[in-house]
Chains A and B, each alone.
Chain A
Amino acid sequence: METKSNLYRKEKYYGLLFILPPVLGFIIFGLYPTLYSVYSSFTDMDGLGQMNFIGLDNYKELWSDELFHKSMFNTVFMMIGIPIGLILALLLALGLNRGIWGTTAFRVIYYIPVISSLAAISILWQWAYNGDYGLVNQFLDLFGIEGPNWLADKNTVKPAIMLMAIWKGLGYTMLLYLAAIQSVPKDYYEAADLDGANGWQAFWNITWPMVKPVTFFLVVTNIIGGSQIFTEINIMTSTGGPEFSSASVVFYIWQKAFGNLQMGYASAMSVVLGLFIFIVTLIQFRLDKSNQND
């Protein structure tokens, strides 16, 4: 008896030892920076050394900061691309699931943007959007349409970046949908067939509900990712676009922290952004739960 409990005790320590690295990693690289950033949001930290406690001043200033509002709006606006991307990806997945000729080749083609470096892709699209010689406008030219100078016009810069983000994420989303569709048991469709359901009814009553968990997962992760959009913007419109029309929140945070020596203020913005994401995600979980109870 005694030896056994000894063994267990030892095992317990081994167990703790094994989970130590990730827990330590989380504390050092996750928890500590987070708490530090929350603390510095109440200071006038400049990133060079100075750090005085100034209470809620940063947050008060945020409240009336036009550029912060603008960048927040831009960030949310660019999320319009998320549902569009999901619908396109689902359609593609449905198409590929039909086993048309060359499915594997298409899967690879759609997945290439996903594994490419975002920086490289941003530079490529920056060329493609060039007003004069860009691929996009040359293509439009074939139909006699004179395209705008996408990235230099405040009305087109956001849709332009959105389009690129959709294109980039399409392969990943499609692959997840494809896997979900393929794991739907075939007998459901057979039963529906016997009951005389048409294709649309089968999709709406079987496929769509069955892939719903994937949709939920994608919406949640895409919104979290979309809130943090930065690289594309920093590369394609390095000053935040005409009249700050493409600047995202993270872009503005970066500008304040590393350009203008206002690390404390930037931290306050990231706290607000963090809370924003937390609340939005919380709402999504709630909605999902109430859906499941139906």
Chain B
Amino acid sequence: MAKKKGLLSVAALSMATVLVLSGCGGNNESGNNGATGANAGNTGASNSGNGGKVETKELSFMFRGGTDEQKAYTKVIEKFEADHPGVKVKITVTAADQYATKLKAAITGKKVPDVFYFNYGDLRAYVNSGVLADITEQIEGNSNIDIANIWEKGVNLYRYDGNVVGQGQLYGLPKDLGPFALGYNKTMFEKAGVPLPDKDKPYTWDEFIEVNKQLTKDNNGDGKPDQYGTGFNVNWSLQSFVWSNGADWLSEDGTKVTIDDPKFVEALQYFADMQNVHKITPSIEDAQTLDTYQRWMKGELAFFPVGPWDMPTYEKLPFDYDLIPYPAGSTGKSATWVGSLGIGVSSKTKHPQEAAELVAYLTGSQEGMQMLVDAKVQIPNLKDMAATWAADTATKPANKQEFMDIVNDYGRSLPGERTYNAEWYNLFFTDIQPVLDGKVTAADYVKAEQPKMQKLLDKALEQEAKSKQ
């Protein structure tokens, strides 16, 4: 009897272990099932509406976005279906933060959608492993789309020749480009009697601190400021300061972590000092990133980053805002990053022609792009359309040209996207808090962090080399 009980408990134990081990897989499974379930619903609906047709080519399309974006894209796809009789598109859509996991699960489970969004940083991994299809022919042979009319910078993010990104065959097209500009609260400047910033001449770092100090104020007289210069999120704004000071995270050839460069240290220290020395941002106790966003919306901050995706929300702000270039460090030039999300085609698709057609429709066709721009979910991909769009200074922000300048001129890719994976780059931000809190100097930090990051970068390079075999 005792023996039997022992056996039972071993069985129970192994069950427990099995549950742990398979837990991860199980979740993905259910995630996929959920997606298929949703698809099945869609298919059912579309098939019944299309009962008369003999042959329907069905494409699955997976994308992400907020509610506004989902609505806009669904509309464009309806238009696409109307323009292409015989082609039906099944839509799977997720919230932004779940998308990457879902896509990776779909790839692992060999259920890649025909057309899908992907992060441009993943281009090499997906091409090397044969997930993405080469769509050069279909795109160049498509009369509806003039590839020369799309930003080169955007298109080049999706060209890859097996070694270098930026040349070679086309494996996708940019859904859009996301220039990360700097905005300022015009109403606050006017109220405080501070001269407005010049949109053609960036502040120097010293000037920037000076202006911020003038705008950090205690309006209600409780001894604590309730209006601040700024409040940047280190994850998205440090880049501008590092780059405009002539430094970077990564060496030109992408093999060395270069954060121990004195110019990098200077930029990081400058960034941390905004809070700890100059006190032009909400204090540590007073704020974290979420709150600075809220404070900007409430009109308590003078400067805050603005992306094109913010425009619909910021339109309703209770104050007037506009865009300017980021303050310039020792190079004298402003710098910031420009993000992008690609749309690609699965190499396993049954309808490569139609799939590429859908990509072209969403990224480069006049009618598709116009609908998306009108819905205010992105800036135009097409140069001619963008020129008209930027010339409209009647709607906020007036200086839309700044977005265009970033895309055309000084916007760069995020360092983490230039490498096979971004683990090394993310570690920098995981450990950064003590520097921001003023407990560790920038110089000490980079010294301790560089070897750890280099180790992860080496690993990413090794992974990349392996994936090419």
Residues of A within 8 A of B (CB): 29-31, 33-34, 37-38, 44, 46-50, 52, 66, 130-133, 146, 148-149, 152, 154, 224, 227-228, 238-240, 242-244, 250, 253-254, 257-263, 266, 270-271, 273-275, 277-278, 281-282, 285
- Also in contact, A30 and B129, with CB within 8 A (given A242-B433, A259-B421): no
Residues of B within 8 A of A (CB): 9, 13-26, 29, 97, 100-101, 104-105, 107-108, 125-126, 128-131, 284-288, 290-291, 420-423, 426, 429-431, 433-434, 452, 460, 463, 466-467
- Within the assembled complex, what's the spacing in Å between the Cα atoms of A29 and B18? 10
Say whether B433 contacts A131, CB under 8 Å. Answer: no
Cβ contacts under 8 Å, A130 to chain B: 290-291
Say whether B20 contacts A273, CB under 8 Å. Answer: yes
- Also in contact, A149 and B22, with CB within 8 A (given A260-B423, A274-B17): no
- Binding site of B, secondary structure by majority: helix, strand, loop or mixed? helix
A selection of 24 A-B contacts at a CB cut-off of 8 Å is A33-B22, A34-B21, A37-B22, A46-B129, A47-B108, A48-B107, A48-B108, A48-B126, A48-B129, A146-B285, A149-B284, A149-B288, A243-B434, A244-B430, A244-B431, A257-B24, A258-B105, A259-B422, A259-B423, A273-B20, A274-B17, A274-B20, A278-B14, A285-B9
- Within the assembled complex, what's the spacing in Å between the Cα atoms of A131 and B283? 11
Say whether A243 contacts B431, CB under 8 Å. Answer: yes
Say whether B125 contacts A48, CB under 8 Å. Answer: yes
Closest chain B residue to A278, Cβ basis: B17
- Within the assembled complex, what's the spacing in Å between the Cα atoms of A240 and B22? 22
**CB contact between A46 and one of B19, B29, B467 (< 8 Å): that residue:** B467
Say whether B108 contacts A263, CB under 8 Å. Answer: yes
- Within the assembled complex, what's the spacing in Å between the Cα atoms of A187 and B397? 80
- Within the assembled complex, what's the spacing in Å between the Cα atoms of A274 and B23? 10
Say whether A239 contacts B429, CB under 8 Å. Answer: yes
- Within the assembled complex, what's the spacing in Å between the Cα atoms of A66 and B434? 18
Cβ contacts under 8 Å, B18 to chain A: 30-31, 34
Say whether B285 contacts A271, CB under 8 Å. Answer: no
Cβ contacts under 8 Å, A146 to chain B: 285
Say whether B107 contacts A29, CB under 8 Å. Answer: no
B446 to chain A, nearest CB (A): 15
Nearest first, the 8 closest Cβ-Cβ pairs linking A and B are A48-B129, A242-B433, A49-B129, A33-B22, A33-B25, A34-B21, A260-B421, A260-B423
Cβ contacts under 8 Å, B24 to chain A: 37, 250, 253-254, 257, 266, 270
Say whether B466 contacts A261, CB under 8 Å. Answer: no
Known A-B contacts: A37-B21, A44-B466, A48-B128. Give 4 more (CB < 8 A): A31-B18, A48-B129, A224-B16, A278-B13
Cβ contacts under 8 Å, B423 to chain A: 259-260
